[in-house]
Structure 1
Amino acid sequence: MELKSYQKKAINDLKSYLECLDNSGIVEGWDKYWQDMGVNAGKYHDKIKAVPNICVKVPTGGGKTFIACASIKVISDVVSKIDKIFVIWLVPSEAILTQTLKNLKNPKHPYRERLNADFNSDVEIFSSNDLLTKLNKSNLKSLNIAVLSFASLRINNKEMRKMYQQNGSLLDFDSFLDDRENLEDVEKLSVINVIRNFKPIVIVDESHNAKSNLSIEMLENLNASFIYELTATPKDSSNIIHYTNAMELKQENMVKLPVFLCNFVNVASVIENAI
């Protein structure tokens, strides 16, 4: 499956931003990116210190997952410092989690085909249970993606607290772990510490669902090298580097129904016309 023209534009905007990031740093790179675009986009929201955190706005039905798959190689080429790339792919619901895992694990699905093309078919996909039971050095590939729900990494989630507990199956990571990267007050040989030492790329699907203080703490715990958000409805605090509008989807036959765009003077008028 080929990228649509608006998806290619999203990837190209990401490449332009990453070049600015690599040359100028997080805040200065943000300013430089928008200066080059000739736009005053406002202040960068530094929600998670020392971690680039940007957002791509794509309407529902625009193929955000495929954009995310095509973005991993682009991001890793700039931010990854080790040969084993780790990606934490966060989704808001169990339904999306099941579907994303199924598609990424299927070698015949376009998402997996894209990943295989970018990483020479050296790709491993982990569920949360896989991380707890099958994570070891021998299982790691060039690209390793763990698909998790937002809730699974929140430390107050009793069912998933095992991510933060000692795990004997991780023994071969003992010499790999750096105390400076580990979480305080967490057992050294825990899944969360292994993840943190890889300084993962974090993809946040439907990122408007991950803006609470608890979600920010969850993202901080991951010790990410880069946070890449995708959503149709970004919050004001999102650092948006790309906008796709509904008409671009319509032109690519991604929207099957007519699109009518109207402006209304207040919320009441919007609700009245919607009804």
Structure 2
Amino acid sequence: MSTFTLKRFQEQALDALDKYLRCARLQGAQAAFTGQTGYGYHAEPFGDTPCVCLRIPTGGGKTLLAAHAVGRMAREWPGMAPKPLALWLVPSDAIRAQTLAALSTPGHPFREALAAGCGDAVR
């Protein structure tokens, strides 16, 4: 399978993530969040564990974007381990199985996006 071409709004979401991560690395999470969104910042609920959320509409390719985002976070987030851990939340066991199969299948666009960002050692 070949990789999917990202739509403009998907590229914009990943660009916003990159901008936030670069700013967070230089100025900290609070300054990055406030500067980029204009909203007040609430401390991360998990201590030093970085938390980021991209809001994408239904049918917007959230799984594909998440697969691209993991590698970007591994490269850009301050203190991120070389082997990031991603938590995928899904609404049903059927979607969990479908997503896991796609992320585990060499050649699938989701797997390719993960491998491009994190290397072939994705588990």
TM-score grouping bracket, smaller chain normalisation: 0.7 to 0.9
TM-score by length of 2: 0.81
CA 117–52 in structure 1, closer or farther in 2 if over 3 Å, else same = closer
Q: Does 1:77 align with 2:96?
A: no
- Quick one: which of 53, 56, 60 aligns to 2:54? 56
Match of 1:46 in 2: 43
Higher strand share: 1
TM superposition shift of 1:113: 1.7
Match of 2:103 in 1: 104
- Which whole-Å CA distance do the structure 1 matches of 2:70 and 2:116 have between them? 12
Q: Does 1:65 align with 2:63?
A: yes
TM superposition shift of 1:50: 4.2
Kindly indicate whether the alpha-carbon contact (under 8 Å) linking 2:33 and 2:41 is maintained by their aligned counterparts in 1: yes
TM-score by length of 1: 0.39
Aligned residues: 118
Identity over aligned pairs, percent:
35
- Which whole-Å CA distance do the structure 2 matches of 1:55 and 1:87 have between them? 12
- Which whole-Å CA distance do the structure 1 matches of 2:107 and 2:87 have between them? 22
Write the letter of the residue equivalent to 1:58: I
Match of 2:7 in 1: 4
CA 93–106 in structure 1, closer or farther in 2 if over 3 Å, else same = same
**Secondary structure, aligned partner of 2:53:** strand
CA 29–99 in structure 1, closer or farther in 2 if over 3 Å, else same = same
- Which whole-Å CA distance do the structure 2 matches of 1:3 and 1:89 have between them? 20
CA 55–86 in structure 1, closer or farther in 2 if over 3 Å, else same = closer
Q: Which runs of 5+ in 1 are unaligned?
A: 35-40, 125-275
Q: Any runs of at least 4 consecutive aligned residues in structure 1 with deviations exceeding 6 A, and if so which? A: none
Kindly indicate whether the alpha-carbon contact (under 8 Å) linking 1:26 and 1:51 is maintained by their aligned counterparts in 2: no
CA 75–83 in structure 1, closer or farther in 2 if over 3 Å, else same = closer
Q: CA offsets per residue over residues 72-120 of structure 1, 9 Å max, x none?
A: 1110112354433333323232122111111111113210122223334
Match of 1:24 in 2: 27
**Secondary structure, aligned partner of 1:107:** coil
Higher helix share: 2
Kindly indicate whether the alpha-carbon contact (under 8 Å) linking 1:26 and 1:50 is maintained by their aligned counterparts in 2: no
Which is higher, the Rg of structure 1 or of structure 2? Answer: 1
CA 119–76 in structure 1, closer or farther in 2 if over 3 Å, else same = closer
Alignment root-mean-square deviation, CA: 2.0
Q: Which runs of 5+ in 2 are unaligned?
A: none
